[in-house]
Amino acid sequence: MSEVRLIPLGVGDAFSSRFYTTGFALGVDDSWLLIDCSHPIRKMLREASTAAGFPIDIDQVEGAAITHLHADHCSGLEDLGYYSYFVLGRRARIAMHPRISARLWDGFLAAGMDSIQLERDGPTHSRNLEEYFDLTALDTEASVQVGPFAIECRFTIHPIPTTAFRIQTAGRTLGFSADSAFDPELIEWLSPADLIVHEATHLPESKVHTPYERLITLPPSLRSKMRLTHFSDDFDLNASLIEPLRQGVLYRV
């Protein structure tokens, strides 16, 4: 059976000065899926995949599954779209729930991508989302295929629409909480996965992210297949009772 690999491209929260912001490359055989896509995505991908021993670039990526439109999770989409369009000569495939993609263009990408002027005082050429991106709609009621990856999603508790993922490929399942307040129902939904990546904050009273102190109360059988991400700079990785992910390290799902 094919080996399913996970490479953390970044493990930090939005304000980290130590780490890139949280995102991953999930791979099986020669296919790779980005889970979230922050800036600078090609640099993040190059550094982490080379360190992990599986150097990859955007041309080897099937697509990007996006959890939500906070910039620390999707600021690299302009990079992805432009690089695919101008360098690779193709559209970038992205997957997200329609409640999230509803504001993707007008509320996020259009300011930097909806027109191109190639000459001083020359004509302005209008562009739209479909010229840069092949958008796949995710569904909370059914899995959706992106290359060899079957993606299920579920909404989390977060200030803007955000989805967690269960991604199945080659008989293995990765669960990713995305950004969420502590939510036992979400953790139950993630629990069948072979490997669970869950965000954690050191702030015990957080209503936006999941406090580490709540996660360590989970049953040992669940904690043993859980890995943490989305750290602040003062999160003590070496003292964590749940294994924290490291940038550029290869994990097997």
Q: What is the pLDDT of residues 132-172, one digit of tens each?
A: 999 999 999 999 999 999 999 999 999 999 999 999 999 99
Residue % of the chain over a pLDDT of 70: 100
For 64-115, write each residue's pLDDT tens digit.
999 999 999 999 999 999 999 999 999 999 999 999 999 999 999 999 999 9
Q: What angle do CA 168, 35, 157 make, to 5 degrees?
A: 90
Q: In what order do the strands lie in the sheet with 144-146?
A: 144-146, 149-155, 163-169, 172-176, 195-199, 226-229
Confidence of residue 224 (pLDDT cuts 50, 70, 90): very high
Mean pLDDT of the chain: 96
- Counting the structural domains of the chain, the total is 1
Confidence of residue 117 (pLDDT cuts 50, 70, 90): confident
| CATH number, domain with residue 169 | 3.60.15.10
Confidence of residue 122 (pLDDT cuts 50, 70, 90): confident
Of 145, 142, 59, nearest to 95 by C-alpha is 145
The predicted structure's pLDDT at residue 52: 97
**Token pair in block for residue 151:** 């993606």
Average pLDDT over residues 104-128: 90
The predicted structure's pLDDT at residue 125: 86
The predicted structure's pLDDT at residue 170: 97
The predicted structure's pLDDT at residue 83: 97
The predicted structure's pLDDT at residue 204: 81
User: Is pLDDT at 1 greater than 80 in this prediction?
Assistant: no
The predicted structure's pLDDT at residue 171: 97
**Token pair in block for residue 56:** 């990859």
User: Is pLDDT at 119 greater than 90 in this prediction?
Assistant: no
Average pLDDT over residues 192-204: 94
The predicted structure's pLDDT at residue 203: 85
- How many whole angstroms separate alpha carbon 15 and alpha carbon 21? 8
Confidence of residue 118 (pLDDT cuts 50, 70, 90): confident
Confidence of residue 55 (pLDDT cuts 50, 70, 90): very high
> What's the domain range around 66?
4-252
